[in-house]
Chain A
Amino acid sequence: MVHRVDIIPKKESRHTGLINQIKDSGIGKIFEASCRTVYFIESNLPENKIEEIVIRLLIDPVTENYILARGFFAAPPQINEILVTHNPGVCDPVALSLEKAIKDLNVPVATARTARWYKFDGLSVRDIEKLAPRVLYNPLIEHVLDYNKVKNLSTLSEFAGKDYCFELRSVDILSADDNRLMEISKQGCLSLSLEEMRIIKGYFTARQNNPTDCELETIATLWSEHCCHKTFRGIIEYEERDESGAVVKKETINGLLKSTVMQATNEISHKGCVSVFHDNSGIVDFDAKNNICFKVETHNHPSSLEPYGGASTGIGGVIRDILGTGCGAKPFANTDVFCFAPWDISYDDLPKGLLHPKRIIKGVIGGVRDYGNRMGIPTVAGAVLFDRRFLGNPLVYCGTLGILPKNKSFKKVDIDDVVVLCGAKTGRDGIHGATFSSRELDEQTVALNSAVQIGNAIEEKKLTEALLCSRDKNLFNAITDCGAGGISSAITEIASEHGVEVELDKVPLKYRGLSYTEIWISESQERMVFTTKEENITALKEIFDEEDVEMTVVGKVTGDHRLRLFYSGNKVAELDMDFIFNLPKLAKKAAWQIKKEEDTKVGDKKSYNKDLLALLASPNISPKDWILRQYDHEVQAGSVLKSMAETGGRLGVSDAAVVRPDLKSRKAVVIGMGINPFYSDIDPYWTAALAIDEALRNLISCGADLRRTYILDNFCWGSPQDPETLAGLVRASKGCYDFSTYFKIPFISGKDSLYNEYSVEGKDIAIPGTLLISAISVIDDWQEVSGNNFTQRGNLIYLVGKTKPELGASQYFRNAGITGGIVPKVDKADAYDIFTGLSRAAKKGLVASCHDLSEGGMAVALAEMCMGSGLGANVFLAEAPVSGKLLDYEVLFSESPTRFIVEVVKRDKKDFEKTLKGLPFGLIGCVDDKPDLMIYNKNSKPVVNESLAKLRKAWTGTFKEFQ
């Protein structure tokens, strides 16, 4: 029997948020809308028992009432009402919690489900049908309950299907010709090329029998772009052509990653690197007791389809990377970086099949917020960028930092260790990534191919507690996470050097009917795999039971270098580890067309007040405090410098975030990032150089030291099948190598996401080549951290670093619609010395505050330092160190890298200048308590002359509708 509970607020208030959201989607009518939470409980208990459950669990007696009824609907619904619920197999965390609470009450097994009820007055059925999937639910994960389909339904069970009946399947590839091989790859969604299929055929021909479906799936998963980064490991035939079309350079690159990013790390051979490009994240030295580790992942495609679920499983996945580093690290901070399309596009202009940017923005932020906050990991740093080309392909970068004891930094797997799967149960989540289909809950629902994944943070939080406690009691010796490919990649990787046997029927399942292959490749969230000695199982069980987390022995490490899978005693797969991990290298072509840069110049203006206000209001510059405030950025109590903070009603932004990962140590970690895809439109080589420079600038201005700094790369690019796009990726990788070695900052980890394209009316639109550089630095004492806003009137203002007329792809030129211009370039003549010089000055206590110059250049940086402090400034352009003769706007808005505004107390003038001797710097002005930003040109005319109030109004007004 199904019981329905509607929760009714005692004091009904107008659902203004919901109404505005609907109006936004283009409904021009006057209407009212209301919404309620609905629960379904399936149980054979008498009604009064159900009522007791409702009163004890579902309502807040101070604010809520309820209506209890039988069945999904007490009566046929009105035409202006809809009831939205999850699709079968889609995780419903609230229902799981409700089931747990009902169990606490000692009530015999009951199942539960949640739904949302909406009612609209003043809208037609057609209006409701049109708006509902636009704003109220996502058909990939939810659907509207159809009264006629469920009126006679008396169960919540989603799968009336039978138990799985074992049948071993094989795929005939031995007799297949090339055409048939490709058919097999396509039909099975294997994404294997003909060349790869031929190699697979060769392997099984030698073995003299056909592969089982499971064997073929295993190879396809482990050879996928996602699992093994074919492009970065393959062979690239690279050439450069000049403007006349003549080839000026030709090169064969054998392993792009190995020869650029990893090569740089090898050459630098930094003594702080503990484990790099090897484990699930990069591990570096922290103090005598602990190491720290860092990983950044992308979750772009899932976030474009289901922003909330995509972003939450993105953050959930990267947290598991940290839990799966060494013998398990404790996550202590999250980072996130998003690239979205501007949100001013009308719903009617939106290409079919795409979600509106507003919905993507809110969904992604909500996903990171709800998952990160529930995990108790502070989300401390990030960035958000806007460009129209991200319309079909938003980028969602999620990063996590962890801390782990020195003696837990490496895994050790031994023969005869048992393999343990722990965490959530396994379902059909994410099988074959994008081939899912949505189905409705009705009498006919018998099978489900796959489900879009929704994160369940509490499951992962419990898992984290159980694992870290077991780690500290030395109860396991190796661990890894279940990510892409699920246990198929986790178990084969953890046992890759030995061999392993797995009994697939031991895996705990969410529901009946999964085949052995589905169990093996399911990507269900919140699961980890570890190996341990058999005798530890009892002690482990005790810990996992206390935390209410499931753990099951599913296999054993063998010594025969083979992967063997069984289902109820039947062997369903047997493969050589050497074959699985020795994937073929494929060759791709890359062709770069050298473009000549144009030194575009425009005339100078009398006043730049307007331009500065417009810059401050640009979505890329306007502060994202409205996002940070939704994140619990202070949990774990280690916050030293917040990315943004309000003091005395004034908002101030920081260049980086600083966190103490261990509250018993004075050491702190500085976290910053660099990203600017717009330079890629001119040359991705400089995109890379500038992203590295920006990430380092952000750390230096908070007091970090280059010698204890490490970086991560995350490439998001278009299709590598396109030679020009691939050439851009090669250029960026080369930039990474050149500037990593120049600054002597090693890469410790990285990840790439390719094929970020979408088509509109048959035309493919690729994202701009986007490289995120995330940087961390270890500081000996948190007290050495400096802030990024002015502190005291009368203090001196220095500009450190040389300004050049570099406005190509700058925010100023983009605002003005100018496409030409010289792209900024990192100057190897003095960049390194500027960084180390400033670190020295900071260490000596000569820096009162410091802020780097990035988008919008010097004028924006000065405005930010003023607004954050409430203090004004008087600045003289003529004193800025420049290269050549610059126009006023060039000094104000150039984006030349390696530059800082530094605030120095008067009495430190001599010491500061002595410390920076030989480097380009200029004393450009002083801090004033009059709240105005005054910038004078060489003729002593004020070219900027604006009150802080007006600057602040422009700066903080951009995201009003999201606040």
Chain B
Amino acid sequence: MKPKALILRTAGINCDKETTLAFELAGAEASLRHINYVKEAKSLSRYQIICFPGGFSYGDDLGAGKIFSLELLLWLKDELKAFIGKGGLVLGICNGFQVMVKTGILPDADFRQKVTLSFNDCGRFVDRWIYLKTKEEVRQFVKQIGETSPSAGWRGRRTRDEKKETKPEKIWTKGLPEVIRLPIAHGEGKFLAPQKIVKELEAAGRIAFRYCDDVGGIEESETVNPNGSLRNIAGITDATGRILGLMPHPERCMFEHQIPDWHKKKTVPWGLRIFQNAVNYFLLRKK
């Protein structure tokens, strides 16, 4: 049976249709619903996957994702808690990531906001393609949090990773190459969090994506880190690995033609794999 995905929208969400299509192409049975419908029906239990797509919920007035997150807290908090508790997958893309962070679904699914996505360093909306590093267990960052100088020492120091016990399951990033390209399109994507939380996330291997250069080097320059995110963080997961939030748009990399230089060289639309991973998580587990 196809896993069922709920794509939840509200006023101003605008990546809902293509995100629904991405789940369909990945093999899910996808339903696109308005929160006004879901809040009456209160039926999240029939779904295996919930996705908060990108857009400008309520115009991002009062801050990106703010009002949508308030509505989730007011109307669907218990249902979401139950859904997560039962082992469902949750994905938030761009505005959806902002909503999840402000609802407190990420980082710890305890419905308390601990981290944020703030205004880009350049002060405005940016749409462009960036590189993302999808793996980091074999690399260690020389630079410590709190240092502000450009980090020459970040790139490519290979050491053996010793902590292995509490790593979250790699559900969403399975099978991705070490570096992929996706587009970003946001005005508020700068990941900010208290040092303690960032350290915890890094130690637990919960940084799903970091902005990097074309060969996987982590640098803080604007060309590499487009919004000034702390530690180049572009996406994080919860402790179980089942909940993912990311600023880049995987649904804008599900067809070859969406990639800027597709007519020059053969390229793989890796974004689609992220949706397929969610579907396969349920299909393969059952066997």
Contacts and interface: CB of A to CB of B under 8 A. Distances in A.
Partners in one complex: yes
Given A631-B127, A646-B129, 4 more contacts: A62-B194, A101-B58, A632-B125, A791-B264
B11 A458 contact: yes
A210 to B, nearest CB: 47
Interface in A438-470: 456-458, 461-462
Looking at B21, B118, B185, B263, which has the most chain A CB atoms within 10 Å of its CB?
Answer: B263
A870 to B, nearest CB: 11
A637 B251 contact: yes
A786 B12 contact: no
Interface string B42-85: 00000000000011101111110011001100100000000000
A782 B192 contact: no
Interface of A: 17, 56-58, 60-63, 93-94, 96-98, 100-101, 104-105, 369, 373-376, 456-458, 461-462, 545-548, 628-637, 639-640, 642, 645-649, 660, 663, 782-783, 785-787, 791
Nearest to B193: A62
A316 to B, nearest CB: 13
B126 interface: yes
B185 A461 contact: no
B183 interface: yes
A844 B34 CA distance: 47
Interface in B216-270: 223, 249, 251-252, 254-255, 257-258, 260-261, 263-264
A299 B246 CA distance: 37
A93 B15 CA distance: 21
B74 A105 contact: yes
A787 B21 CA distance: 27
A61 B193 CA distance: 11
B167 interface: no
A562 B187 CA distance: 51
B128 interface: yes
B285 interface: no
B150 to A, nearest CB: 18
Contact of A100 (B56, B58, B123): B58
Interface stretch (B109-117, B136-144, B155-163): B109-117
Which 3 residue pairs of A and B lie closest in terms of their CB atoms, listed nearest first?
A376-B14, A97-B61, A637-B18
Contacts of A461: 11-12, 14
A61 B113 contact: yes
Contact of A373 (B56, B102, B123): B56
B37 A663 contact: no
15 contacts: A17-B123, A56-B70, A57-B62, A57-B70, A98-B62, A105-B70, A376-B14, A458-B56, A461-B12, A462-B12, A546-B37, A547-B34, A634-B127, A637-B254, A648-B214
Nearest to A377: B14
A497 B255 CA distance: 47
Contact of A632 (B60, B71, B127, B193): B127
A297 B134 CA distance: 45
A933 to B, nearest CB: 20
Contacts of A17: 123
B264 A104 contact: no
A101 B11 contact: no
A786 B263 contact: yes
Given A461-B11, A636-B17, A62 B114 contact: yes
B36 interface: yes
Contact of B55 (A97, A376, A785): A376
Contact of B124 (A58, A98, A456, A630): A630
A101 B14 contact: no
A101 B263 contact: no
Contacts of B66: 57, 60, 101
Contacts of B18: 635-637, 663
Interface string B205-219: 000000000100000
Contacts of A548: 11, 36
A637 B185 CA distance: 12
B128 A104 contact: no
A205 to B, nearest CB: 52
A634 B258 contact: yes
A631 B128 CA distance: 10
Contact of B59 (A62, A93, A629, A791): A93
A547 B55 CA distance: 16
A374 to B, nearest CB: 5
Contact of B192 (A63, A369, A645): A63
B63 A632 contact: no
Nearest to A789: B264
A375 B14 contact: yes
Given A630-B124, A634-B183, A637-B254, A547 B11 contact: yes
A630 B126 contact: yes
Nearest to B115: A62
Contacts of A63: 116, 118, 192
Looking at B124, B129, B264, which has the most chain A CB atoms within 10 Å of its CB?
Answer: B264
Given A104-B74, A637-B255, A645 B129 contact: yes
Contacts of A373: 56, 125, 185
A252 to B, nearest CB: 51
Nearest to A56: B70
B145 to A, nearest CB: 15
A100 B127 contact: no
A633 B127 contact: yes
A57 B62 CA distance: 7
Contacts of A98: 61-62
A785 to B, nearest CB: 7
B185 A634 contact: yes
A632 B185 contact: yes
Contacts of B257: 639-640, 660, 782-783, 785
Contacts of B114: 62
A97 B62 contact: yes
Nearest to B35: A546
A785 B249 contact: no
A17 B60 CA distance: 22
Contacts of B63: 60
Contacts of A646: 128-129, 260
A546 B34 contact: yes
B192 A62 contact: yes
A529 B59 CA distance: 24
Nearest to B252: A634
A633 B184 CA distance: 11
B264 A787 contact: yes
A374 B129 contact: no
A943 B284 CA distance: 65
B58 A97 contact: yes
A585 B128 CA distance: 51
Contacts of B61: 93-94, 96-98, 458
Nearest to A462: B11
Contacts of B124: 369, 630
A458 B214 CA distance: 37
Contact of A101 (B12, B62, B115, B194): B62
Contacts of A546: 34, 36-37
Contacts of B183: 634
A841 to B, nearest CB: 16
Contact of A639 (B56, B258, B261): B258
Contacts of A786: 263
B261 A645 contact: yes
A792 to B, nearest CB: 9
Given A56-B70, A63-B118, A635 B62 contact: no
Contacts of B251: 637
Nearest to B34: A546
A161 B58 CA distance: 31
Contacts of B102: 60
A374 B264 contact: no
Contacts of B263: 785-787
Interface in B1-28: 11-12, 14-15, 17-18, 21
A546 B38 CA distance: 10
B131 to A, nearest CB: 11
B59 A374 contact: yes
B14 to A, nearest CB: 2
